[in-house]
Structure 1
């Protein structure tokens, strides 16, 4: 019993040190190849605990090789794609050209998940237009593309992260 407990504690420490880069993120945010290194090492650790009659170093060698391969794959990925390591967010430049991107300034806040309100009760939200790097003129031009000439006719308009507009019009155009 004491051998199994000592092996468990020792192997947990080795796995934690070796795979500590996987711990802060959700498993769904990691690549499958990175998780496979961990699963193989956990399987070897489980075999080491189940078979206490086999010397521990016979299990430590494959675990060390798996940890080394995992570390090398992380290092290789950093060298291969340095652009993914930058902290930048991009938003669509216009609705007609979704391929063009506008990079946010670092001090600007990210969009909320549900969308960013650009018009409320027929009035422009200039603060939110500033967050996406756009002007009131751009918003008027986008509305004209869809046949709306007067901003006051729009009760509520939001834009999501992909550049889609969602709007609610006033019920009576004479209310304006």
Structure 2
């Protein structure tokens, strides 16, 4: 089609074979290992795992978020999140405050120590992404984001867009 709608709709990508897709899947696995390697080393100093990292990340991005909202964003069980939050609170990295409007709600904030940990974790990942984005170029970066968004389930994409649009 001359208007480019076929190419934009993805139909021109039907040339992708199972082998192309397998290579893409493997690239994602190896890239994820690289993306998480630096934070994993930092988290090991605290005896924390990736669930702690994700909680710290999203509490930082949305200070005052509720436990229920964090459950939705992370897609984990209440039991799993409570275990993670308990250690973060006990270690003085997260503060849980009772809601002003609804006393049943708990609002989460990073403490000063939590902000330091978050910065260490994010700095390591930003450095890796900055290097990769610069090497790939602006068109590849845009395409990469489009692919990632297309891989998200509709609910995940909505949550992602809410974070992106709110600037939090």
- TM-score range normalised by the length of the shorter chain: under 0.3
Specify which structure has the higher proportion of strand.
1
The structure with the larger Rg is: 1
Structure number with the bigger relative contact order (C-alpha 8 A, sep ≥ 6) is: 2
Normalised TM-score (structure 2): 0.27
Specify which structure has the higher proportion of helix.
2
Normalised TM-score (structure 1): 0.26
